[in-house]
């Protein structure tokens, strides 16, 4: 399934950390308030988790957990935030966000107004490290 | 596990739709921008999905999907939003939110600043209907 106007069906300039038959993991820099954000994107253009059969729900969530585990190991965040919205782009994708007490919004959601200037310092190569963890765990 | 200062370990005035050995589903009215919101709360005081063994990750997600399916049937939302944050209360809980094009924030997240006055009209008894769906599917 391939939707002609969907930016997740026709990705550009994505930084792909892992790709499988049914999904891909990308690292994202375009959410200004997110200190460290990966997305797990289902390949087919479906909108809701309950549009998938149970085996495929488990498949995408298992990858969300792998990304969560890798980000916890690499980034030691205060908290992991998981979210699947799709209000702008109704193509199933999960946000996996590492949150820190000194990020711009903590403890509010990253989509709330920023409360401070973020002072989070991440390893320069965190995406590379997460990618390696995902590849090794494959 | 029971944390002395955790409001989810010591709930008050919750509207419980379903309770099982390991989790409970509640309907929530205290998120001003959420038109219709249920929470799936793990009973034990753990913080992250990857703190649970895989069977229990599947157990809580299966209930999230049941709530999503029930809310879709009852409310016919534009989109379902799923989120697990725990920044304020690091006790595992999922938000299952029915979103509508005429709610206060759509397509932004409900935690963003409201963009309009919500004009969503829901069935008065939607919680009762969701509760019935959950009970019948048990």
- pLDDT, one tens digit per residue, over A59-84 is 999 999 999 999 999 999 999 999 99
Q: Which residues of A touch B (CB under 8 A)?
A: 47-50, 54, 57-58, 61, 64-65, 68-69, 72, 78-88, 90, 99, 106-109, 111-113
What pLDDT is attached to residue B77? 97
For A127-131, A134-138, B62-66, which range has the lowest pLDDT when averaged over its residues? A134-138
B1 or B124: whose pLDDT is higher? B124
Q: Which ipTM was obtained for this model?
A: 0.96
Look at residue A128 in the predicted model and tell me its pLDDT.
Answer: 97
DSSP designation for A21: S
Per-residue pLDDT, averaged over A42-67, amounts to 98
Q: How confident is the model at residue B128, as a pLDDT?
A: 97
More confident residue, B101 or A30: B101
Task: State residue A14's pLDDT score.
Answer: 96
Question: How sure is the predictor about B56, in pLDDT bands with cuts at 50, 70 and 90?
Answer: very high
Burial of A56 (0-12, 13-18, 19+ CB in 10 A): middle
| Residues whose CB is less than 8 angstroms from the CB of residue A94 and which lie 6 or more positions away in sequence, other chains included | A39, A40, A41, A60, A64, A82, A83, A84
Number of Cβ pairs < 8 A linking chain A and chain B = 102
CB count within 10 Å of CB A110 equals 25
Helix (H) or strand (E) holding A27: strand A23-28
Top-confidence residue, B7 or B32 = B7
Q: What is the DSSP letter of A50?
A: G
Q: Is the pLDDT of residue A1 over 70?
A: no
Q: Do A47 and B79 touch (CB under 8 A)?
A: yes
Question: For residue range A97-121, what is the model confidence (pLDDT) as tens digits?
Answer: 999 999 999 999 999 999 999 999 9
Quick one: DSSP state of residue A4?
A: T
Residues 6+ apart with CB under 8 A from B55: none
Q: What single DSSP character describes residue A49?
A: G
Element (H, E) at B98: strand B93-99
Distance in angstroms (rounded) separating the CA atoms of residues B57 and A43: 23
pLDDT of residue B47 exceeding 90, the answer is: yes
Helix, strand, coil % (nearest 5) of chain B?
A: 25, 20, 50
Give the mean pLDDT of B77-81.
98
- Whether residues B83 and A82 touch (CB distance < 8 A) is answered with yes
Q: What is the CA radius of gyration of chain B?
A: 15
Contact check, Cβ <8 Å, B50/A68: yes
Domains by residue range for chain A, with CATH: 15-137 (3.30.428.10)
Residue B1 pLDDT exceeds 80: no
DSSP A88-104: SS-S-EEEEEEE-TTSS
| Whole-structure pTM value | 0.97
What confidence category does residue B112 fall into, taking pLDDT thresholds of 50, 70 and 90?
A: very high
- Which pLDDT belongs to residue B31? 81
Instruction: Give contacts of A83 with chain B, Cβ < 8 Å.
Output: 81-85, 109
Picking from B54, B82, B107, the nearest residue to A84 by CB comes out as: B82
pLDDT tens readout for residues A11-43: 999 999 999 999 999 999 878 888 899 999 999
**Any idea what DSSP says for residue B65?**
H
Contacts of B84 in chain A (CB under 8 A): 81-83
- DSSP code per residue over B5-60: T-TTTS--S-EEEEE-SSEEEEEE---TT-SEEEEEEESS----GGGS-HHHHHHH
- Output the pLDDT for position A32: 81
């Amino acid at each position: 399934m391939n939707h002609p106007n969907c930016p997740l069906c026709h990705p550009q300039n994505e930084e792909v950390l892992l790709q499988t038959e049914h999904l891909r993991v990308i690292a994202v820099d375009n959410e200004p308030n997110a200190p460290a954000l990966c997305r797990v994107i289902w390949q087919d253009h479906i909108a809701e988790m309950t549009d998938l059969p149970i085996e495929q729900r488990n498949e995408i969530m298992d990858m969300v957990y792998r990304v969560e585990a890798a980000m916890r190991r690499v980034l030691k965040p205060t908290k992991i935030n998981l979210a699947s919205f799709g209000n702008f782009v109704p193509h199933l994708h999960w946000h996996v966000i590492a949150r820190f007490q000194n990020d711009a919004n903590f403890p509010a959601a990253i989509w709330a107004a920023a409360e401070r200037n973020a002072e989070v310092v991440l390893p320069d190569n965190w995406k590379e490290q997460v990618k390696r963890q995902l590849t090794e765990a494959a």
